[in-house]
Amino acid sequence: MERTFIMIKPDGVQRNLVGEVIKRLEAKGFTLVGLKMMSVSHELAEKHYDVHKERPFFKGLVEFITSGPVVATVWEGEGVVASSRKIIGATNPLAAEPGTIRGDYGISIGRNLIHGSDAIETAQREIDLWFKDEELVSWEPSIKSWLYEEN
C-alpha cells in the first residue's frame, strides 16, 4: 500500500494545529502508521531539503525547520501521496484554496505549516530519512471494507 511522509512544521506545532492536521488525514480515511514529535538536527534538515540547496531560501528554510519541535508522520492509503498534497494545498498559502490546510490556516510561504512528499519516490526517500523501520507500525484498520470497495 502507498505511503507518504507528512510533517507538521514548527509553525504548525506552535499554532496548535497538530490535531487539526491529523484529524483531516484520519477523517479522509488514511491510516497513520508512524508518528513522532522531535527536534530536527541541522544535518537532517539539510538532507530533507537537499533538492532546494541551491535556492536562495534554503538557509532560511533549514533555520526555520530546526527552530522548534516538529511532528513527523507517515500515512498509508490508496493514492495517499497525491491526495494528501491536495489536502495540504498549494505551497503559497495565499494561493492555496480555502478548504486546504494551508488555504485555511496560512499566509506566508515561509510559514506554510506542513510538509508533504510530492511523489511516490520522494515519499520513500523521506520515510527512510525520518523513520527507522521499527518506528513504523503496519496495522489493518477494521473499517477498511467501508473505505475500499475491494480488499
Name the catalytic one among 42, 48, 52, 115: 115
Q: Is 48 a catalytic residue?
A: no
- CA distance linking residue 67 with residue 111, whole number of Å: 12
61 sits near ligand DAT (criterion: CB under 6 A): yes
CA distance 80 to 24: 13
* Residue 137 near residue 34, CB atoms below 8 Å: yes
SS3 at position 80: helix
- Write each residue from 95 to 124 as x if it is in contact with Mg ion (CB under 5 A), else as -, in one continuous string: -----------------------x------
Among the residue ranges 22-30, 37-45, 110-118, 138-146, the one whose residues contact ligand DAT (CB under 6 A): 110-118
Of the candidate spans 30-38, 105-113, 120-128, 139-147, the one that interacts with ligand DAT by CB under 6 A turns out to be 105-113
Specify whether the CB–CB gap between 70 and 38 falls below 8 A.
Answer: yes
- Minimum distance of ligand DAT from residue 6's CB (angstroms): 11
For the record, the C-alpha cell of 132 comes out as 527507522
The residues assigned a catalytic role are: 115
